[in-house]
Chains A and B, each alone.
Chain A
Amino acid sequence: MLINKTADILASEITPKEIYHQRRRFLQQAAAIAAAGATAGLLPYSSEAGQKITNVKKSPLSTADRLTSYKDITSYNNFYEFGTDKSDPARYAKNFRASPWTVSVEGEIKKPAKYQIEDLLKHFPLEERIYRLRCVEAWSMVVPWVGFALRDLIRRVEPNSRAKYVEFITLHDSEQMPGQKPGLFGAGLDWPYVEGLRLDEAMHPLTILAVGLYGELMPNQNGAPIRLVVPWKYGFKSIKSIVKIRFVEKQPLTTWFRSNPREYGFYSNVNPTVDHPRWSQASERRIGEDTLFSPKRKTLMFNGYADQVASLYTGMDLKKYF
């Protein structure tokens, strides 16, 4: 991999100029660390959010929508492990240790393995994927993720015929994640956070494991060091800070579904025609773009990815399987 000490071409192209210059610092390069693996692991891996990632390819799957600012993406987060207020993750994830980090891949596969995060960065070609992110709370962003296709990993571990679903699990460590402390009612969710996809959804080329955004390693509050991104589903499906990926036969019992099955379905595909009991899903507010007085924009079926993903659900009643 290339070690690039000057401005990274890709990042400068996708980052609004002011922000880019403001954050331009001398950073250790993630790629350098990945390369350290090649030199027999002589250099310690010390990933830190904000380190620049080099050698990232652009992707034709990216949207041309205007990017949401780095500031909004990293200060307005739903990550209940760090608190239920949108500003909590940025505040309480500061000292989160995203390194060293191991992702255990197990279950109905021929090659179970424990991957160090730097191995994942090394094994798989990283791409920039600019995706719309639609939250179930009727707001949306456009995020320039850096990651690799989940299917690259899936092919490597070789699922057997019993693998029908993929289950993802977030780190469970209440010392580091204060929102997981079992106080009075807590955040009202059971920990650790669990998400899941059908195997064909997981194999879809749009589905990625993201390790960064805006050309840098993943900020802690966005799910460092590695998270799922499934752009045609509501944001909570895109589970953060993953420690375990398990291939299973039965549909996983996912966290929000367990907390309120009437409101949060397993599929949770973005669908303007199926309302959440609390929010109309017909329209949304694009963070950072609309003024106080502009109307909401119409929400698109499958968040605008219908051409690519609608075929996954042919014949399914999406009102029943919401």
Chain B
Amino acid sequence: MLSPAIHKLIKPAIFVVALVPLAWIIYRTVNNDLGANPIETLNRYTGDWVLRFLMITLAVTPLRKLTGWNGLLRYRRMLGLFAFFYVCLHFLSYAWLDQNFVLTDIIKDVIKRPYITVGFASFLMLIPLAVTSTNAMVRRLGAKRWQTLHRLVYAIGIGGVVHFLWLVKSDIREPLVYAIILTLLLGYRFWTRVHSSQNTVASGTVP
């Protein structure tokens, strides 16, 4: 669809754009513009971007199928890695700034507070996905096993939304928006799978 030269440009462009949220919050931090509760601001800001990058990553496959633009697939890994990058910052803002690396407090929080339990589980699940994101790892695992492993991202997406739903006090509108987006993204996959398997059965082909 696009010439290779343009593809070569898109990738670094996405890379730079994906760093804009980081640049913006660094700018605000050095300018003392994080509001009355800077730690809360940093923590929520990074959490928002984790969820956004997860949703964007999960949108690649549906978009590719709907538009027929297979080239999109080349950017999926980078987008997923940015979700991982921002969750590392998010976790760091929590463990360092909020909890001052007091391990016993962090462990207590993870065990005791369901929204942190779920967030932490999602974070842990993202680690093997990031580690196995290289071409060499895909080859070592084999495409099939790699793909099975990377289906974890569905659970991570759900975990991220549940984490948000459980942490708000009473106003669930914003997490609900993410829940709807996630339902569409996962629903699309489910729907296409059901349909393609029906087609398979109908046409009588044996896998």
Contacts and interface: CB of A to CB of B under 8 A. Distances in A.
A47 to B, nearest CB: 26
B170 A187 contact: yes
Q: Ordered nearest first, which 4 A-B pairs have the shortest CB separation?
A: A188-B170, A76-B36, A84-B171, A72-B36
Nearest to A189: B170
A285 B176 contact: no
Given A278-B115, A295-B100, A285 B170 contact: no
Interface string B106-147: 001100111100000000000000000000000000000000
Interface string B33-55: 00111111010000000000000
Interface of B: 29, 35-40, 42, 96-97, 100, 105, 108-109, 112-115, 167, 169-173, 176
Question: A interface, how many residues as a size bin?
Answer: 20 to 34
Nearest to A282: B105
B176 A75 contact: no
B35 A292 contact: no
Given A292-B38, A295-B100, 17 more contacts: A84-B169, A84-B171, A86-B35, A137-B169, A139-B40, A185-B171, A185-B172, A186-B171, A188-B169, A260-B170, A277-B113, A278-B167, A287-B37, A292-B29, A293-B96, A293-B97, A293-B100
A292 B39 contact: yes
A249 interface: no
A288 interface: yes
Contacts of B105: 280
B36 A84 contact: no
Nearest to A136: B169
Interface string A162-204: 0000000000000000000000111111000000000000000
A167 B198 CA distance: 62
A139 B37 contact: yes
Interface of A is mostly: loop
Contacts of B112: 275
Contacts of B170: 80, 84, 187-189, 259-260
Contacts of A139: 37, 40
A185 B167 CA distance: 16
Interface in A26-49: none
A76 B35 contact: yes
A104 interface: no
Contacts of A80: 170-171
A296 B105 CA distance: 12
Contacts of B172: 185, 188
17 contacts: A72-B36, A75-B35, A75-B36, A76-B36, A80-B171, A84-B171, A86-B35, A86-B36, A139-B37, A185-B172, A185-B173, A188-B171, A260-B170, A278-B113, A288-B36, A292-B42, A295-B100
A139 B88 CA distance: 24
A87 interface: yes
B61 to A, nearest CB: 29
Interface in A268-289: 275, 277-278, 280, 285, 287-288
B42 to A, nearest CB: 8
A188 B173 CA distance: 9
A84 B169 CA distance: 9
